[in-house]
Structure 1
Amino acid sequence: MAKTFVALLRGINVGGRRKVPMAQLRALLEGLGYDGVRTYLQSGNAVFTAAEPDADAVRVELERAIEAEFGFAVPCVVVDGRYLRAVVAACPFPAAELEGKQLHATFLSRQPEPERLAGLDPAAFAPEDFRLGDRVLYLYAPDGLGRSKLGEALHRPAVLKGIDWTSRNWNSVLALVELAGE
């Protein structure tokens, strides 16, 4: 039985570098045998179905194919549609009351050890705040991620070293949940 996956590519199509046109990404995914391929925005969001039930196997195949096609490595986080819906359901912030640009989800390839976050005092960054979920960091940044000191601190190598990650604003997360349907 086919499973719906969401692939989140990190660091593409930013500032004219590491270009991955979405039409080419869709063709690449279809060439790998995935069905129902759709992309969202230009920042590397793809939804598709695959017979392969393991997200990590899909990630490895996708990362290899992207590097072969475009000539550079692109870290990807691949999750299934159910997990993405669970991320939305578990959001510890009042998402419905916030603007989409104020709330972000940083998707992680694996759960970080708690001590990695222990040195971050949320009170020092107020009114910004974060919570760790299941392989996701929820970040409330009232002035947006681009101005967030807490976001900067959370994405430092000391916190995320050895973990592939990529962030999406809440509007994108909700749009991807809708695209993943099921």
Structure 2
Amino acid sequence: MNNWLLLFRGINVGGNNIVPMKKLTEVLMSMGCAEVKTYIQTGNFLIEHQENNQSKLSANIADEVEKSFGFKPQVLVLSLDEFTQAARQNPFPKAELEPKSLHLFFLSQAAQSVDLNDLFLLKKPSESFELVGQVFYLHAPEGIGRSKLAVKVEKHLGVATTARNWNTVQKLLGLAGIE
């Protein structure tokens, strides 16, 4: 069995795509997922599954959610090593003191031909960002809701993303038994 982290995009946010975590857990278990653990209502799961291919597992889960709930979400599947590495590579360690100001945008695939200058023009003077592999780190001390950069990240990277704040990243690591 392989250990995976599932990051669902856009469920139970703003009253859209409402999915009870208990029912979603049941769907995952019916697909062969074991040791299913969840954190908060926005679609963060730790699972064990025999599938070795992340893309295939993601597509299968999205298809099952569509059958069960009537919409097809983006499901980013990460190994625990990938997720742990993303946390360890945080280029803004001082921002960890304000965990809701630090966000990790996990990319569905590597961004191609990214012009970071376009993103630099969008950022507030107080904001900092860095793209490291398939993770876009954003420190937005004034709040992500006030960040023009946060709204435009996906468009400028040209790939689908799903973001988690530092607090959620730490809670998921703890849930996985990683310190």
Q: TM > 0.5 between the two?
A: yes
Q: CA deviation at 1:47?
A: 0.7
Percent identical among aligned pairs is: 37
Deviates more, 1:37-46 or 1:108-117: 108-117
| Corresponding position of 1:175 | 171
Q: CA deviation at 1:164?
A: 2.3
Alignment of 1:94 onto 2:100: no
Q: Return the letter of the residue paired with 1:178.
A: G
Runs of 4+ in structure 1 off by over 3 angstroms are none
- Secondary structure in structure 2 of the residue aligned to 1:142: coil
What are the residue-to-residue correspondences of 1:152-171 with 2, within 5 Å?
152-155=151-154, 157=155, 159-161=156-158, 163-171=159-167
* Structure-1-length-normalised TM-score: 0.90
Q: Return the letter of the residue paired with 1:81.
A: L
Higher RCO, 1 or 2 (CA under 8 Å, sep at least 6)?
1
Q: Give the Cα–Cα distance (whole angstroms) in 1 for the partners of residues 169 and 37 of structure 2.
A: 15
How many residue pairs get aligned? The number is 178
| Corresponding position of 1:110 | 109
Q: CA deviation at 1:119?
A: 2.0
Q: Any unmatched runs of 5+ in structure 2? A: none
Please tell me the root mean square deviation across aligned C-alpha atoms, in Å: 1.8
Q: Deviations over 1:127-158 (max 9, x none)?
A: 10110012110000002211112212323x2x
Q: Return the letter of the residue paired with 2:25.
A: R
Q: Any unmatched runs of 5+ in structure 1? A: none
Q: Give the Cα–Cα distance (whole angstroms) in 1 for the partners of residues 5 and 94 of structure 2.
A: 21
Deviates more, 1:119-128 or 1:6-15: 119-128
Q: Give the Cα–Cα distance (whole angstroms) in 1 for the partners of residues 123 and 3 of structure 2.
A: 40
Change (3 A) 1:28 1:95: farther
Q: Give the Cα–Cα distance (whole angstroms) in 1 for the partners of residues 54 and 73 of structure 2.
A: 16
- Secondary structure in structure 2 of the residue aligned to 1:19: coil
Q: Return the letter of the residue paired with 2:10.
A: G
Q: CA deviation at 1:123?
A: 8.5
* Structure-2-length-normalised TM-score: 0.92
